[in-house]
Amino acid sequence: MFLFVPSQNIPLLLILLIFSLTTNNTTSSLTINSTHEIFNVKQAITPLETHEKIHVADENVQENGTLKLELIHRDKLQIFSRFSTYNKSNIFEDRMDRDSKRVSSIMQRITNGVGYQVDGFGSDVVSGMDQGSGEYFVRIGVGSPPKDQYMVLDSGSDIVWVQCQPCTQCYHQSDPVFDPSLSVSFTGVPCRTPVCDRVENSGCHAGRCKYEVMYGDGSYTKGTMAIETLTFGHVTVKNVAIGCGHSNSGMFTAAAGLLGLGGGSMSLVGQLGGQTGGAFSYCLVSRGTGSTGSLEFGRGVLPMGAAWVPLIRNPLTLSFYYIGLLGLGVGGVQVPISEDVFKITELGDGGVVMDTGTAVTRLPSVAYVAFRDAFLVETASLPRAPAVSIFDTCYDLDGFVTVRVPTVSFFLSGGQILTLPARNFLIPVNDKGTFCFAFAPSPTGLSIIGNIQQEGIQISFDGANGFVGFGPNIC
C-alpha cells in the first residue's frame, strides 16, 4: 500500500478505504511495452466461483496519521442476500441492468443541458441527474454520536444524502435508518440561505430547504437539506450540507445514501474546498485481488511520477470529470479513429467522462466498432462464445489455464498512453469460462470510462490546477 506525506502547511483530510480479496496483484502501465500479454483464465474466474464473507472491521486502525476504512464492492456485500430484490445467481445480469440505466441517465442529463426537469410534483423542480447504481460502498459515521452507514461512492454526483427518519417511504438498507432527532449536530437548513441557494432547483416547505432528485431509472430521493457532522474513522468533518431523505425508492438497496465526489460545489469535494484544494486520489480495488484500495483527500496525496492529463470542463454539466482521449490501441498499434470522435462539441455533446458509478466503458459506435474489430483480428485463434447482455464479443475459455491476448491502451492528451491489464478488458460473465470484451457502444457521442477499466490503477484529481493523474502506483 502506498501512503503520501502531506506538506506541513496544507490542511489535509486523508481517508483510506481498504478492501481485500484473494488472488494475485494486477499491474498497469503508462506505456506500451509489449504487444501481447498472458491472461490467467483460472485466476480471473475465481471471484465468480467464490462468494467469501467480507469482514467489516469494527474499529479503524490509525498508522502514521493515516485513517483507514473499508471499501466494499456492491456484489460482495453479503447483506444483499437478505433482500428479495437481490438474486445472487444473477449478479452479472443485475450489474449490467444497473449499468445500462445509469448510462442512459447520464446521457439524458447531458443532453438536457444542466439536466434538471420539471416533474410536475407540486411546485417542485426535480433533478434528472443519475447519481449511479453504486458499485463501491464506503462506511462512514453520520451525526453526533456517529451512526455508521454504508454510502455509495460516486464521482459523478454533486450531493451527499442519507435516508432519514421519519421515513414515509424508504428502501431496504443494511443499517438502521438515520434518525436526526438523536443527533446533537443535526441542523435544518432554512429557505433563502446561501446553502439552499447552492442546491440546484431547491424548494421550500414549512420554512425548510427542500431537495428532490429523480434518477433516470425511476429511483428518487426527496427530503430536506441539513447541516451535519460526518465521521471518517477518527476524523470528524463538521458542517457538511447533506440531504435528509424522507421519501426514497430505487436501486440503492443496502446503502444508506450516497457520497458525491463530483465537480460541483455541493459534492463532498466541493464543500471541503480550500481544506483539500480540490485534490483527491483513489484506487478502485480489482475484483478478486488481495491488494488494497484507497481514497485520499488533500494536495499532499497527489503522487510524484503520475502521468498527468488535463481535465476538461463541460459548462453544461460541471459534475462530471472529462479528460482528453486521442485514440485507442490494440496490440501496440493505434486503431485508425479520428480524434474528433472523442471531443466535446460546441453544444456540449460528446467528450470522455471518467465515472466510478458506471462499470463498463462506453464508446461512440464508430470508435467501438473499429476498436472491437481490431481486437477480434488479434484474438482470431480464441474460441468464440455467443453474445451476453450488452457484450457482443465473447470467448469460450472453458478448460484454458492461460491465453495470449493483445494489449489494450488508451492514448491520452499530452502524449500519455495508459495500457490496461488484461483483467480490465476481459471479464468473466459466468462460471462456465465465458469471458467478454468489457466495452460497449454508446448510443450517443459521449464516451464513459467505467470502473472496470479503472480498477487497480491509482487515479488522482488535481481540481485546483485542472489535471487528472494515472499511476504511478497500483492498488
SS3 content of the chain, % helix, strand, coil (to 5): 20, 40, 45
DSSP code, position 288: T
**Tens digit of pLDDT for each residue in 376-431?**
999 999 999 999 999 999 999 999 999 999 999 999 998 999 999 999 999 999 98
Give me the active site residues, please.
Answer: 154, 355
**Tens digit of pLDDT for each residue in 48-99?**
333 333 223 333 333 333 333 455 565 555 444 444 444 444 666 766 766 7
In whole angstroms, give the CA distance from residue 65 to residue 182.
Answer: 30
In whole angstroms, give the CA distance from residue 272 to residue 464.
Answer: 12
Low-confidence residues in the chain, pLDDT < 70: 1-33, 42, 45-92, 94-95, 97-98, 101, 104-105, 107-135, 201, 215-217, 286-293
**Domain 60-275: CATH superfamily, name plus number:** Acid Proteases (2.40.70.10)
Q: CA–CA distance from 450 to each of 69, 140, 389, 453 (Å)? A: 23, 24, 17, 6
pLDDT at 425: 96
What CATH fold (topology level) applies to the domain 306-474? Answer: Cathepsin D, subunit A; domain 1 (2.40.70)
Q: Structure pTM? A: 0.78
Strands 220-232 and 384-385: unpaired
In whole angstroms, give the CA distance from residue 292 to residue 26.
Answer: 11
pLDDT at 471: 86
pLDDT at 110: 66
Sequence ranges of the chain with CATH classification 2.40.70.10: 60-275, 306-474
Place of cell 490501441: 329
pLDDT at 293: 65
pLDDT at 70: 52
